[in-house]
Amino acid sequence: MDTSQYLSMFLEESMDNLQTLNEALLQLEQEPDNVDKLNEIFRVAHTIKGMAATMGFNRMAELTHKMEDVLSEFRNGELKVTKQVVTVLFKCLDTLEQMVDNISSGEEEEMPVDELMEKLESISKNAKDASETISAKETEQVETVKGEEGQESKNEENSTKIELNEYDINVIKQALDRNYTALEINIMLSETTLLKSARAFLIFKGLEEFGEIIKSRPGTEDLENENFDFKIELVYLTEKSKEDTKKLLKNISEIDKIEIITLDSHTIKNYYNNSEIKVDNKAEKVENTKKVEKSIEKDEVKSVKVEVKPKTNTPNVQKKSAEPHKKIHQSVRVDLERLDKFLNMVSELVINRTRLEQISSSYKLTELNETIEQVARTTNDLQDLVMKIRMLPLDTVFNRFPRMVRDLSVELNKEMELIIEGQDTELDRTVIDEIGEPLIHLIRNSADHGIEPKEKRISEGKDPIGKIRLIAYQEGTKAVIKVKDDGAGIDVERVRAKAEKVGINTEGMNENDIKNLIFAQGFSTNEVVTDISGRGVGMDVVKTKISALGGTVNLTSEEGKGSTFTIKLPLTLQIITALLVKVGEENLAISLNYIDSVIDYKEEDIKKTNNKEIIIYRGKVLPIIRVNERLGLPKTNGDRVYIVIVNVGEKSAGLIVDSLQGQQDIVIKPLGKTLKQLKEYIGATILGDGFVTLILDVAAFV
């Protein structure tokens, strides 16, 4: 079978499923008894295995199959969810992700998976050995108990026939608390039944319309392969009564006998108490499970908590009753290249619309005005639509960080907690693609420099677990992302000393300016170079990337209390509203996102301090920047000169320009390789008269 046409779908689905597994495994580590999360992990792993096998990626399917074996031990209660086992599973996910990347890039290099598969086999085998030893001991003790207590188990109404583990019991208890009915159903098929698996499918399909089957004997695989006699035993949760369920089953042909037992809290309690014989034998269990831990790489995993707000954590049972039936959303996968072409075409439409408006105005063609206004409205609607299509939630970037923080906590031997808020905030896809790397640097910086070791935090009266907050929200036409930590903060004197050492003059700088020196190229306060920091490239990369995106990054910090990095980004980078100005004989554009106001230039308002020009505006001292001098353009002797007040993060300045040309929507076009090094411009645009106009990079100026 030719599977090439399905390759792109396989790659996308696999990456989505691997991310889901990462998030679910993190949550399971925090909530080992969360049955729903365990079932979700098992289902997703099974999906990945099936897809990989179908596409012919056998090594990938084999590794996932071994993972399933370990997950089965979790589900059957034979293996406890420990940090050591989860760490091995995370390594498997990393390997699977690398395999998918290799397939995507066309690399034929095979990933080494034998060692991982051996670890998984060892975990699974030792868990089974431990379980069998414990089971033999339990059987012996149970028989003793039964001998002493007589005929207690004869009453079928008070004991279940299907063996239940702790997970199953917890699910049943939750269901009973929410007024569900729990039933044990014993079905005997007719001995003349030819297609037993088809009959079993009809039984399952009929029951699952009104509830959930949480246990079956034989299991699903045996049922599918007709590997059973004629008896099927089920544990079933439903809102229907026992009588209604029996009536439903009677409508299915080829069933000879139906026996239904109601499981109430008393029944479960009795069963649970009998099960506690397992728990009493702790010494035996610990001794046997030591084998499991010895087979795992001894990474000492410190406490790490991941919290994403808002979060709902309701079991499947509750979801079925609470959520109304929703219409399935219809969507179409669109290649990103096509979407970019669509945006480029809309951009050209905006340019031509501007050209039409200028022609109409120049030649005073009033009869065209109405049509042009209609075209303008339609173009604006189309522009808004294509922008919304390109918008993606920040969650697509944020979802990789919980796992990263967990790994950092192990690597740095620190306890830390990641709290995510506002992951639904949307940004243009271009921004989303680029923002990941700066955020990685900022979070790693908070983990390494900010969060203190547990002992130090306790001695200072802080919570032993350090908190890193990742917050996002929309503010006007900008998106704001904050990375906050409650760590040590920034030692101003240490930064000042390092600055002087590398030749940066700090005279006249306030504390905030000195703190922001950490963004300077090659600047690092770490004396020791590690895998995480110390080379002084991380924060420089952050500032360069953010500036390239037309955004700003600013640091506020209080020693002993923590630090906050605030990133402000435009929601979109393609089409913006700009103020057109003239400097010398050149037309330039300034994004309205940066502009606070425009005032008349008066020579008497300009003051000098430290040989630098300033102006006092609304009680603030603002530096003056003569754009013509900065760009090397000749000065014109116009009647009126203007000062454009701009804000970049916490800083403000006044840009002196010769005249104003009005404002309009412009399309940002990249400068190309030849002019890429010009730091004063973020790009160029084509105006209505067909001339190319450069767009000033205000952040670089200020």
* Pairwise CA distance, residues 180 & 262, whole Å: 11
Strand 552-558 relative to strand 466-475: parallel, antiparallel, unpaired?
A: unpaired
Structural contact between residues 566 and 482, judged by C-beta atoms closer than 8 angstroms: yes
- Cis peptide bond upstream of 324, omega within 30: no
Long-range contacts of 13-17 (CB under 8 A, 24+ apart): 13/47, 13/51, 14/48, 14/51, 14/52, 14/96, 14/100, 15/97, 15/100, 17/44, 17/47, 17/48
> How many residues are there in the chain?
702
- Say if residues 88 and 119 touch (Cβ distance below 8 Å): yes
Kindly list the catalytic residues: 46, 68, 445
Burial of 535 (0-12, 13-18, 19+ CB in 10 A): exposed
Please give the C-alpha separations between residue 11 and each of 18, 22, 332, in angstroms, as whole numbers.
Answer: 11, 17, 16
Residue 231: strand, helix, or coil? strand
Contact 61, 52 (CB under 8 A): yes
Between CA 245 and CA 238 the distance in angstroms is 9
Question: How many Å is the maximal CA-CA distance in the chain?
Answer: 111
Q: By C-alpha distance, which of 474, 473, 695 is closest to 575?
A: 695
SS3 of the chain: helix, strand, coil, percent, to 5: 50, 20, 30
Enter the tokens of residue 674: 């030849």
- Reduce the secondary structure of 522-564 to three states and give it as a string: CCCCCCCCCCCCCCCCHHHHHHHHHHHCCCEEEEEEECCCEEE
What values do phi and psi take at 652, rounded to 5?
A: -135, 155
3-state secondary structure 392-413: EECHHHHCCHHHHHHHHHHHHC
Identify the DSSP state of 446. I
Nearest to 142 by CA among 283, 282, 280: 280
**Tokens at 691, concatenated:** 């001339």
Distance from C-alpha of 376 to C-alpha of 687, rounded to nearest angstrom: 15
Q: Mind spelling out the 3-state secondary structure of 264-332? A: CHHHHHHHHHHHHHHHHCHHHHHHHHHHHHHCCCCCCCCCEEEEECCCCCCCHHHHHHHCCCCCCCCCC
Alpha-carbon span 287 to 298, nearest angstrom: 18
Cα Rg for the chain, rounded, in angstroms? 33
SS3 track for 299-317 = CCCCCEEEEECCCCCCCHH
Contact 653, 621 (CB under 8 A): no
Give dist(CA 104, CA 295) in Å, integer. 33
* DSSP SS3 for 485: strand
Q: Quick check: helix, strand or coil at residue 665?
A: strand
Task: Point out which residues pair with 19 in neighbouring strands.
Answer: none
668: closest CA among 556, 548, 511? 548
